[in-house]
Each structure stands twice: as C-alpha cells, then as structure tokens.
Amino acid sequence: MTQSNAVTWTLSGFGDEIDPDPAVQVAVLKALGASHIEVRSAWGTNVVDLSDDQLDTLTAFLAKEGMRASAVASPIGKVDVSLDPELEVDRLRRIIRVAHALETPNIRIFSFFRGDGVSVESTRDDVMLRMRLLADEAEREGVTLLHENEKDIYGDTPERVLDLVESVGSSALRLAWDSANFVQVGVAHPHDDGYAMLRPYLDYLQVKDAVAATNTVVPAGEGDGQVLATLTALRDDGYTGFASLEPHLDEAHALGGFSGPTAFGQAARAFSGLLSEIGVTTK
C-alpha cells in the first residue's frame, strides 16, 4: 500500500523497564521521542500499592515534565482465579484512583492464573464472572480495561481472548495486543492466526517480539511474532492509537520485566526501523 497521507501513532513505554526512578524513566523516554509513559511502578512500588503522597508526587512530576500517561499497567487479574472475586474488584478501585490522578482512561488487566494441574477450560465460568465484575466497576468509573494476552492466564490464545471479550460484552473491556506473548504460548503465527478476529476489539499495542524455538523475548521484528505484518495491518486499518514499548530484554517475572536504558533504547530503535519501512511516524 502506498501512503498518500502521513500516519502517526503515539509512542509510549513502560517506564519501570528503564529504571525504578521516574526521573530516569522520563528522561530516557523523552530522548527516544516518546510523549507518553505507561506507568506500572514508581520508585520500586507497584501502582496498586502507591500511597497518596507517592501518587501526588508522581503526578506533579509528570505534569512538570510534560509527560502524559498512556495507561496504568496494573496487575489486576494476575492472581489465582480461586481467590475471592471481590478482592480483585477492591484492587481495581485503587488502580482507578491512580488512573484518574494520571488522567488516563486506560488500565491494563489480565484474566487470571490457575493452580497447577487445573485445566484452563474448567476455569472459564469463574473467569467470566470475575471479568464481568471488573467491567462493571470500569463502566461505573468511566475507564477502559485493556486485556493483555499474557502467558498462563485464561486469555492467552486468540480464540480464548475472543471468547473473553465477546462473552463479557462490555464497552469498558477492550484489548491490548502483544505479539511476543502469543509466540510464547505456542501461537505459531500471531498475525495470521489472531489479528482478523481480534481487530474489532483492539485498542492498544504493546511492542515486543519473541523467538518460538527458545521463548526468548527480542526486539520487534527479530522474532516470530509477525510484528511487521501486524503493524502494516494496523496502519492500513487506520489505527491512530498508542504503541507502548515493553521490551523485557533483561529479565522477566510474574508481575513485569526489566530492560535498562541501553536495551530499552535498542528496542525503541528496532521498532522505529519497522515503522520507517511502512511510513508510520510517532509523536
């Protein structure tokens, strides 16, 4: 497709993949041309545990730096599905407080872990119940839950992600796309196997890639996630939203990952190279 008009997406990134200190996070993101930050933790404290004083300090600092939040990268839904559903609703209320303070409607969530030996199929009804409760709270508070297709949760494959978003059926539940996570759960061709079915619900792009043979996370375009195909399709579909860098190039764990400034920059340059190929710019 020949581009007659410029297409621009908004560049963001997980600040705590750079450094625990928001001052370093913002400095690096600005140097890479990002206007937004995805907030998962600050000073080593996850967003769900930020005190009022910490939240006030963070919001004031971001405002002073002219850096806006693209989303709150919450851990909601990264708990066992057997726990009391109201516990996660209570945690979501704390996250919504953070989202309102940061003036973003977007909150990343997940669709629940399960115990060893528990089949994913057997958790479906419990997952749907919990996701509906979370969506109800989001609707009341005017925020959007962005479900990430994470490993080891109910919504890890395109088919189950589709089941989730269509069964809950809430305007407050939308999707964040992560090519690397699809690769790591055995989806051979994420774009071919999932993009068309999920695109009607896709509102947010998380940028990383992975190698199927080793499950290793790599910069965008260097793995098996068909990232370039997905970026091209988003361009052609008229996508104008966020692209959030989440490189995971140094270490990854249950609640997140880390890259450091150097590797984060490497990931940003790889992504920029792909966008240059298809004529998309960032702001």
Which residue would you say has higher pLDDT here, 186 or 4? 186
Q: Is residue 2 part of a domain?
A: no
Closest CA to 112 of 82, 133, 132, 74: 82
Report the pLDDT value the prediction gives residue 248, as an integer from 0 to 100: 75
Q: What would the mean pLDDT of 61-81 be, rounded to a whole number?
A: 98
Q: Are 175 and 146 in contact (CB under 8 A)?
A: yes
Q: Is residue 244 part of a domain?
A: yes
The CATH number covering residue 278 comes to 3.20.20.150
Report the pLDDT value the prediction gives residue 252, as an integer from 0 to 100: 52
Q: Is residue 1 part of a domain?
A: no
Determine the Cα angle at 54 with ends 53 and 59, to 5°.
100
How do residues 213-272 score in pLDDT, each as one tens digit?
A: 999 999 999 999 999 999 999 999 999 999 999 987 765 544 455 677 899 999 999 999
Which two tokens mark 41? Answer: 């933790």
Closest CA to 154 of 188, 120, 179, 202: 120
Q: Which domain holds residue 62?
A: 7-282
How do residues 13-33 score in pLDDT, each as one tens digit?
A: 999 999 999 999 999 999 999
Residues in the chain: 283
The total of structural domains in the chain comes to 1
